[in-house]
Amino acid sequence: MKLNTLFVVGVCVGTLFISCGSETAKEKQLRLTHTTLIDGDTYQFFQLVGAKVIYENDYASYVAGLANSSQAKQLAEKSKEVYGSLISGLDSLATTKQVDFPIKGAEKFVATNNVDTVAQQTSISYSDDRYIDHVQHEAAVVKDQLQRMTRNTDKDVRVFAEANLAKVTELFTLAGGKEDANTHH
């Protein structure tokens, strides 16, 4: 009887140690608590920029077929190029850092498929000038976040930010944004 009891206790203890191995515990913690491998500042970056790039990419695709001016069409094409590359880069970085991407609950751009409704909405809600202002504003937000991440302690995040900052700055400038002369010391 004692031998059977010792055997059962040994199996239970062995199972406990196996299930609590450092790698298994780490995987379970990440899966069950949604813990990531990044700090709060980087998490905010993923939340803000991750939500914006998908929305802006879809919005640019919509505007590329709708814009009246060549400037708005050119800006929409450049936006699609820049944000499309950011999406793939953010997706890879998010996978490495164990962050959920695309961002859950982020606003999605939805265009109306009805041609008559689109014609009515375009005369009321869409204008090339408003789109250009919108792109300038959103690019400024993304540019600011990328500038912040160039000083991040995580090397992968810093490299991503440094690699993409020039693209977003170019988009910002193309949309009419002006660089602040005091920002580059």
- Return the domain boundaries, the chain: 42-103+110-177
pTM: 0.74
Q: Is the peptide bond before 102 cis (omega within 30 degrees of 0)?
A: yes
At 92-132, the pLDDT tens digits run: 999 999 888 888 888 888 876 544 444 444 445 789 999 99
Please state the φ and ψ torsions of residue 176, each to the nearest 5 degrees.
100, 5
> In this structure, are residues 51 and 103 in contact, taking their beta carbons and an 8 Å threshold?
yes
Domain 42-103+110-177: which CATH number of 1.10.3470, 1.20.120, 1.20.1260, 3.90.550:
1.20.1260
> In this structure, are residues 168 and 82 in contact, taking their beta carbons and an 8 Å threshold?
yes
Residue with tokens 């199972």: 15
Return the pLDDT at 111: 79
Residues of the chain below pLDDT 70: 1, 8, 11-35, 112-124, 180-185
If one counts every other C-beta atom within 10 angstroms of the C-beta of residue 72, the result is 22
Alpha-carbon gap, residue 121 to 115, rounded angstroms: 10
Helices then strands (H, E): number in the chain?
7, 0
Return the pLDDT at 27: 62
